[in-house]
Structure 1
Amino acid sequence: MRIIHFADLHLGVETYGRPDAATGLDTRLLDFLIAFDKLVDYAIAEKVDLVLFCGDAFKSRDPSQTQQREFARRIRKLADAGIPVFLLTGNHDLPATSGRATSTEIYDTLRIPKVTVASQAKVHTIETASGLLQVAALPWPRKSTLEGKAQGEGQNLSSEELKAKVEAAMSARIRQMADSLDPMLPSILAAHIWVDGAATASERKFILGSEPTVMLSNIALPAFDYVALGHLHKRQELTQNPPVIYSGSLERLDFGEERDDKGFYVIEFTKDGGRKHTDYHFHKLDGRRFLTLEKTLYEGELDPTLSVLKMLTNRSDDIAGAVVQLKLKMPEPVAPLLREAEIKNALKDAYYFGIAREVERQARNRLGAEHDESLTPLQALDKYLAMKGVSEARKKELMSKAAELMAEVES
């Protein structure tokens, strides 16, 4: 039995994109769809038994009709090929208010053949071409549900108390699902969660304080043959027995993922004399590349622009087709010497580029070499009047008035 595990598609990310003349779609949306197409084509060519998606189909909780159409086309293509699809609900799939549908709920409502939508924590038994498969689903937790229940019981929980309650409920539910599994059948835990200690990519670490997390020991249970995770965009294998794996996002979202490989996992379950074995490997996709170039320029360079152009020429193959950010650091006198038009022309083969200048401003000390802050106000005035060539008589008069003012202020 072979299964594809992927997550965090995030259709709708359009940063660094532009309208495509042929389709009218944003070119970054096309990047994500191309990656999805490669996965779909692989699944059909290799006749996999299940495509398991671990949440966050779209960037927005309210995706556009175009984004929903493009996602549906690929889900339908898999289903028409006889490949079951399992769609787990992620945090980006949940509506902003209770009572509204999730972004993938329509597939469940229409009872699309071969498509299972998991928006609640429960065990699903999926019929595949190679036999039955158990998938214990743990979608993104709805804190509002537990909060409403607590309020109904007369409890007003703080944010930390609510977070702790959600974490305890998730861990308990994982254990309950694990205990209910048939040990003779292959089983997967599919979860859209943050595992404590897992590394991040483009996600912002500051949100961790408000997000519920689970301990690795609470999900790496022997009842599961494989733990498929979504939510964090950085691909990582947390344990091997059982395999606990974040597949990462299918395509790079921003420069936080510049050095991350993107793709999906292929899992294979086999039996040997009644004993189950799990093998897996990562299938890398060639997505949109992100490239950061940095150059420090120094005062005294005869032609700082030429120095930048030489670096760009040496990296021309890397620049072509990539999203590029060029960071230039320089002292203030160098800044006006840069010929930006020539630099932009050297970056013309990039998919997208941005140029950031970090100019080191030179401190100006109008009173000379002695540090201003080491002088008292009267000393500073005396030094200033001397620099301006004020006569001794006039200087004496001004210094006297200044001393009177200082005394008045101090009193």
Structure 2
Amino acid sequence: MDRLVNTVRPYAWGSTTAIPELLGTEPTGEPQAELWMGAHPGAPSRLDRGSGLVPLNDVIDADPPAELGKAAIDRFGPRLPFLFKILAAGAPLSLQVHPDLAQAKAGFEDEEARGIPIDAPHRNYKDANHKPEMLCALVPFDGLCGFRKPSEAADLLEGLGVDGLKPYVDILRAQPEGEALREVLAAVLTADRDAIAETVTEATEAAERLSEEGGRFADAYAAYAKAAHSFPGDPGVIAAMLLNYVRLQPGEALYLGAGVPHAYLGGLGVELMANSDNVLRCGLTPKHVDVPELLRIVRFEPSEPAVLRPEASEDGEEVYDTPIDEFRLSRYVLAPGGAPRTLDDRTPQILLCTAGTVHLNSKDGSELDLARGESAYVPAGEQVEASGDGTLFRATVVA
């Protein structure tokens, strides 16, 4: 096993304090949005096996069977199929959706055939993979996830008392659910920019006022108003009002499958995803929004946010159950004097300490202590025991 040296990504929406506080380092004054743990070529973790720091993707490429094991290679090929992150949102992220595997493959091949540069701002598909993901809160975490029922969305919009929203309310009440959601989202994203900006401003002011008055949608109105202040006049603010607002408590998680519109609004959490960078944006962003392609990918199905809580097994591992094999998230809550927990060694894994101190002991005799925010890579076939006084998250695959 190897301690990882990880890269922090300074995206503009990042918190200036949350990741430094977790790591016990001084804030730089700049946003620190994501700490990446994995073998993604954009910012691979590094480790030292005696000859200096080497990127994890190079270590894996040099000997995939030794690092990943036969079972993982047979399922996912000679690569680490997941990316693990600490995510610190100080401002809302873009409202977005991810394609399924077939859509990603077709979209990538089409844009390649048309010669669109991979780094072009209007490119939708950076790779041929899907991007299911999971966010597990370390502190109370606010987000938007999935469509509200159209009747409920109509009540919420109508409650704002803004004339410019009345046509959307009428559609949501009159059309079948899927058609209503599609028609309203398309209308919002293709509306005249000046006209929709005025409606967004009026809706923001009303949402702020109503959030302070309390009532059925008070928390949601507050969340939408916060998003609007980060992106004044953005039609994505109205699109966001079609989605469920959810607040995760520490230890709770959201799984986000293909076609489900979502946005993270604020908080600190661990995020685990398939190793992809395919995002189609719906709003709350200055970046490219491809409305026709977006409408093809989005699943216009109302749904309640499926908040996940870990299920404990007999060996002390608490597993977040998801319908995906490229990644598997679990945690161990360790107490002083407790029996060491033996971790399954059949697949490669990344271990992250988020509280206290965790001691790792390998069957080959090596030992490693992880403090808050520190992580380790364990190749397939290396059995490790975990003990100490802290919380250990484990990212691996199902194989």
Tell me the TM-score normalised to structure 1 length: 0.26
More strand by share: 2
Query: Max radius of gyration: which structure?
Result: 1
Tell me the TM-score normalised to structure 2 length: 0.26
More helix by share: 1
